[in-house]
Chains A and B, each alone.
Chain A
Amino acid sequence: MHNPSTFDAPRPAAARSSWMRYASPALFYPLAGRMIPFFAAGAALLAAAGLYTGLVVAPIDSQQGEVYRILFIHVAAAWMSMFLYLVMAGYAALGLIFNTRLSFMMMRALAPTGALFTFLTLWTGALWGKPTWGTWWVWDARLTSELILLFLYLGFMALQAATDDTQRADRGGAILLLAGVVNVPIIYFSVQWWSTLHQGASINLTAAPSMARIMVTAMLLMVAAFWLYSAAVALARVRGIILEREPGAVQAGGEMAAGQTGPRGARTEAK
């Protein structure tokens, strides 16, 4: 028989209040709800600043003329398409190793946004390519590997939708994501490994950017805006997934949060 004073005693308050407790979908649900407005407002502000800097302040490019302005959203979307895939793969690995429900839910919540940014990368790239290269599309290593990334996103989403067994869908999707992660370095290094029509990176960590500072500023503002937008929509989507999969837990979590934070927490949940 176990000693009740050791096993049944409540855990220390410090351990209970650590951030790890937010791995519980029931507790993460209200937290996500509180974070969404901050991310959304930040995204809107940075996007407004990025659009103003990119479309109004930045001068015309001496070689490409006005059409280079497409790159402010094209590069930001391309970075997000790869970054979100890596984040999804990270959640997939966490889910498979620790069997955490929230990891699989986050993995699923990020997929449509990742697919959206991959599509926008290809779309804006085609619109930039036509006046610059004279063609909408070439079977270039960079373009083709980005198209494969779109198929990986769509394949993942189709797999999730194909079965009602969420555990099987989560595990199958996680394996697909981890198998496809090899495509991300291929996209990134394709312009170095192969002779491609697509130009090399304008910004990297080891060398000064090959663009004017105001152009780099506009691009980085759009990257930050897209990052915050992705966080806001992924959190909104994961709340829907939590509600769909664990409606009882959401109610219990809300009551727990209300109990811990008093009337303020209760008010947040009641919104």
Chain B
Amino acid sequence: MSWETLFSLQGHGPYILGAYGVTILLMGWEALSLWRRARRARRQRDESGSLAGRTRP
């Protein structure tokens, strides 16, 4: 399939690309936001762990 065919798709290009594009965008956004949240939580755990280690006698 050439790029021209991919974007024209018998005149249905906007429909097909709109469907696939939004699907990939939303799924990617969900995965990325979860990954960022996990990274933030891990960093907070590491920081609280090192603080506890520092205050321990």
Contact = CB atoms under 8 A, between A and B. Distances in A.
Interface of A: 40, 51, 55-56, 60, 65-67, 69-70, 73-74, 77, 112-113, 116, 119-120, 123-124, 127-128, 130-131, 229, 232-233, 236-237, 239-240, 243, 271
Interface string B33-54: 0110110011001000000000
Interface of B: 1, 6, 9-10, 12, 15-16, 18-20, 22-23, 26-27, 30-31, 34-35, 37-38, 41-42, 45
A67 B16 contact: yes
Nearest to A71: B19
B16 A236 contact: no
Contacts of A69: 9, 16
B12, B31, B37 interface centre (most CB from chain A within 10 Å): B12
Given A236-B38, A240-B37, A74 B12 contact: no
Given A56-B1, A116-B26, A120-B22, A70 B16 contact: yes
Contacts of A56: 1
Contacts of B10: 60, 65-67
A247 B6 CA distance: 49
Nearest to B1: A56
A66 B38 contact: no
B25 to A, nearest CB: 10
The 9 closest A-B pairs by CB, nearest first: A66-B9, A67-B12, A124-B19, A236-B34, A70-B19, A127-B15, A127-B19, A66-B10, A65-B10
A130 B19 CA distance: 12
Given A66-B10, A240-B37, A131 B15 contact: yes
Given A60-B10, A128-B19, 18 more contacts: A55-B1, A55-B20, A56-B1, A66-B16, A67-B12, A70-B15, A70-B19, A73-B19, A73-B20, A73-B23, A120-B22, A123-B23, A127-B15, A127-B18, A130-B15, A232-B31, A236-B34, A243-B41
